[in-house]
Amino acid sequence: MNTDNTTPAINVYGSLFSLAQQRTEILSRLLAAKAKTVAIWGAGINGDFVARALLDSPVKIVSFYDRALAGKRILGIPVLPEPDSVKELDAILICMNGPVEAIKRITGICKTSKTTCIQVINIEHGMATTTWTAAAKHHRLDEYAGTMKGQRCFVVGNGPSLNKIDMSRLAGEIVIGSNRCFIGFEKWGVQFPFWGVEDMEVGGWQSEGWKKMRGTVKFVPADMLKFADPNDTDVCPIQLFRTNFTSTYPLFSIYPDLLFSGRTVTYVLLQLAAIMGCSPIYLIGVDFRFTQSNVAPEPHSEVWWQKGKDQNHFDPSYIPEGRFLHQPHLDLQRLAFMSARQSAKLHGFEIFNATPGSALDVFPHVEYASLFTKK
């Protein structure tokens, strides 16, 4: 039984993925927690799917919990009323897409019981759908899966610390940038081979800039393709599941079928690097601190308006005055990075933070300059 009662719920893959992928991911999480006896909370389609995925595994499913179906049996497993304590179990798998308050209540029971809690959501409920009319002309993410296995990669945040390192050293490296990183290409003397975007609103007003990039593969969420040039053959559509998690780890994908949001585009870039097989992955420009001196929060909103020069990115014109950004929620970003760290451990790739002076303590720190020392 897990003795860490501060462990938040962990989201893993839902039914969009194959049974084999589902089994591998959930079982990896359960074995990492040394769980032998588990119960599934929710006896609907998701619960049935997960139970089938774990049949004949080393983990024993002792029961389902479902108020509406209590008294029945599924796959020979009894369905019980919802309990107030789960101390006798090693783990709970939450397999319901219930209201936030219901999920919080269940995770609270797990925390009190010091029982590992893993949330499995139905991915199909959050999928964006779109028709990319020129898709045949464009890249596909599965074309990149595993193509850079074992090669190092740099994932670039856009913090002020980029001005403290020699960015020209990234020439010839596998680099994934985002958002308005392209305004630094001329200064740095290097253009990144890969680029990604996540934020719908910010990505929208930035689109006139990133549409002009040529020779950089652009990973664009399906619901943002409306901002892309349909004749741009550098575009690679991705399917991104957007979720406003508040107290659980977000999902982290190593599969090209679907990626997950994590309150920062850097989280999406880490998934892209993992899908391509990169290891080690080095973070740079992830300062993980934010000053409000030149922003004006909008009352009762997560929108902040830029007032004066931008002090939170590598260029003072990064977010022009009068444009808006979203409240960064560093606490939730940290949860996302913790999920990435856990997935890296489970799947055998490494993530390091090479950002000078970074406040992010989730990954081991390394000195950027040392990565280019000649042997």
Q: Are 310 and 180 in contact (CB under 8 A)?
A: no
- Which of 92, 126, 160 is the endpoint of a domain? 126
Angle, alpha carbons 43-49-52 (nearest 5°): 105
Whether residue 56 sits in one domain with residue 185: no
Q: Are 292 and 263 in contact (CB under 8 A)?
A: no
Backbone φ and ψ for 221, nearest 5 degrees, come out as -55, 150
Provide the CATH number for the domain around residue 107: 3.40.50.720
Residue 299, in any domain of the structure: no
Residue 164 sits in the same domain as residue 256: yes
**pLDDT at position 134, please?**
46
pLDDT score at 122: 53
Looking at the 3D structure of the chain, how many domains does it have? 2
* C-alpha 154 chain-centroid distance: 17
Same domain, 202 and 265: yes
Q: List the chain pLDDT tens, one digit each, 375 residues.
A: 444 433 444 444 433 444 556 677 788 888 888 999 999 999 876 787 788 778 878 999 999 999 988 999 988 899 999 999 999 999 999 888 667 788 888 989 998 999 988 887 554 444 444 444 444 456 889 899 999 999 999 999 999 999 999 999 999 999 999 999 999 999 999 999 999 999 987 788 888 899 999 999 999 998 898 899 888 999 999 988 887 666 566 778 888 878 888 999 999 999 999 999 999 999 999 999 998 888 887 777 777 889 989 999 999 999 999 887 888 889 999 999 998 998 898 889 999 999 999 999 999 999 999 999 864
34 within some domain:
yes
pLDDT of residue 205: 87
Domain boundary (69, 94, 126) is at 126
Residues 337 and 212 in one domain: yes
Q: Cβ distance 54 to 61 under 8 Å?
A: yes
94, 172: one domain: no
CA 85 to chain centre: 31
What pLDDT does residue 120 have? 75
Q: pTM surpassing 0.85?
A: no
d(CA 310, CA 112): 44
Pick from 14, 33, 40: which is nearest to 120 by CA? 14
For position 246, what pLDDT does the model report?
A: 60
Where does 239-363 show beta strands of DSSP type E?
Answer: 240-241, 259-260, 281-284, 295-297, 303-306, 324-326, 351-353
Q: Give the DSSP letter of residue 250.
A: P
Residue 348 lies inside a defined structural domain of this protein: yes
Residue 315 falls inside a structural domain: no
The verdict on 108 and 255 lying in the same domain is no
- In a shared domain, residues 206 and 334: yes
Taking the CA of residue 36 as centre, how many other CA atoms within 13 Å lie in the half-sphere pointing to its CB? 2
Q: Are residues 45 and 167 in the same domain?
A: no
Please indicate, yes or no, if residue 298 is contained in any of the structural domains.
no
- When computed from its CA atoms, the radius of gyration of the chain, rounded to whole angstroms, is 22
Output the CA torsion sign for 184, 188, 189, 194: negative
Q: Are residues 201 and 343 in the same domain?
A: yes
Neighbour order of strands in the sheet with 37-41: 10-12, 116-120, 91-94, 37-41, 60-65, 77-80, 73-74
Rounded alpha-carbon distances, angstroms, from residue 32 to 91, 118, 235: 11, 12, 37
| Residues 89, 191 within the same domain | no
Asked if the structure places residue 300 within a domain, the reply is: no
* Sole residue written with tokens 């080690």: 280
The residue among 314, 315, 316 whose CA lies nearest residue 294 is: 316
- CATH (domain of 201): 3.90.1480
The residue segments making up the domain with residue 96 are 10-126
- Claim to verify: residue 191 and residue 95 sit in the same structural domain: no
Q: What was the pLDDT predicted at 255?
A: 82
For tokens 């919802």, name the residue.
82
Please identify, among 69, 96, 126, the residue that sits at the C-terminal boundary of a domain. 126
**Residues 280, 352: Cα–Cα separation, whole Å:** 7
Length of the chain counted residue by residue: 375
Are residues 89 and 226 part of one domain? no
Which pLDDT does position 3 carry in this prediction? 44
